[in-house]
Amino acid sequence: MEKMLEVKNLMVFFENALALNDFSMAVERGEIVGVLGSNSAGKTTLMNTISGLILDMKKKEERRGGERISVLGELKFEGEDILNKKPSERVKKGIVLSRERHPIFRDSDVVENLKIAGYLHKRHEVKERIDLTFKLFPHLQGMKKRKAGLMSGGEQQMLAIGIALVAKPRLLLMDEPLLGLSPMLQADLVRAIKNIRLAGITVLVTEQFARTLLPIIDRGYVIENGMLVFEGSRQELFDNPEVKSAYLGI
């Protein structure tokens, strides 16, 4: 299979604290890849670095004289070095992040939120992606005119993923999408992630507790204190006793 994303020897420093330490991983086209790790393990820093948000954070910190952020290593998308590319340039290439507590337009309704996300694309493409969102999340179909701020946390999470889908990702980054959801909504979301792959989108997803997620990933990486401690296929992760006790609750 063809490597879509390559991360090599990635180091991210916040002032003198090391958030990612010599971290390497790869995602092949058409895969669902999981990154498992406890709270503060470095999962969100990894997603912010791949999406380019870390560069925005770096600029903001520099402007206000805050902590110094340094990013070193290699980051390639389809063979092209993107380490210093702006987040907007990465979105145009098809790298789209749906993050935990993703910002939504609270005073706009569901359809308006989805349309705003499609500003870079042609109208028919936006319509196709909105239709895909409602197919993946039938629950949102009946809430088209509801203001986003009046929706539950789980419904807002579905909308946030829809917003990411309308931006037309080729590689969808999902940062802890299951966090805080009820078991029923978690099952719905896992089903949706499977169908997102069937729609031709490659998925990289982070999670703290992997029991619900593990059955649908092809491969996984385990991160602790910013370092890669284990990688393997779904079965290898499931067979590893330390992974089972720490991330599967078995």
| Terminal Cα-to-Cα distance of the chain (whole angstroms) | 32
Is residue 122 a part of any domain in this protein? yes
Percent of the chain residues topping a pLDDT of 90: 71
- Please give the mean pLDDT across all residues of the chain: 92
Is residue 226 a part of any domain in this protein? no
Is residue 181 a part of any domain in this protein? no
Is residue 130 a part of any domain in this protein? yes
Is residue 88 a part of any domain in this protein? no
Is residue 203 a part of any domain in this protein? no
Asked whether 157 and 99 are in contact (CB, 8 A), the reply is no
pLDDT of residue 161: 93
Give residue 125's domain range: 105-166
What is the count of structural domains for the chain? 1
- pLDDT tens for 157-194 read 999 999 999 999 999 999 999 988 888 889 999 999 99
Low pLDDT (below 50) residues in the chain: none
pLDDT of residue 250: 62
Q: Alpha helices, DSSP H only, in 83-169?
A: 87-93, 110-117, 123-136, 138-141, 153-166
Is residue 192 a part of any domain in this protein? no
Is residue 140 a part of any domain in this protein? yes
pLDDT of residue 1: 63
Residue 112 is encoded by which pair of tokens? 């308006």
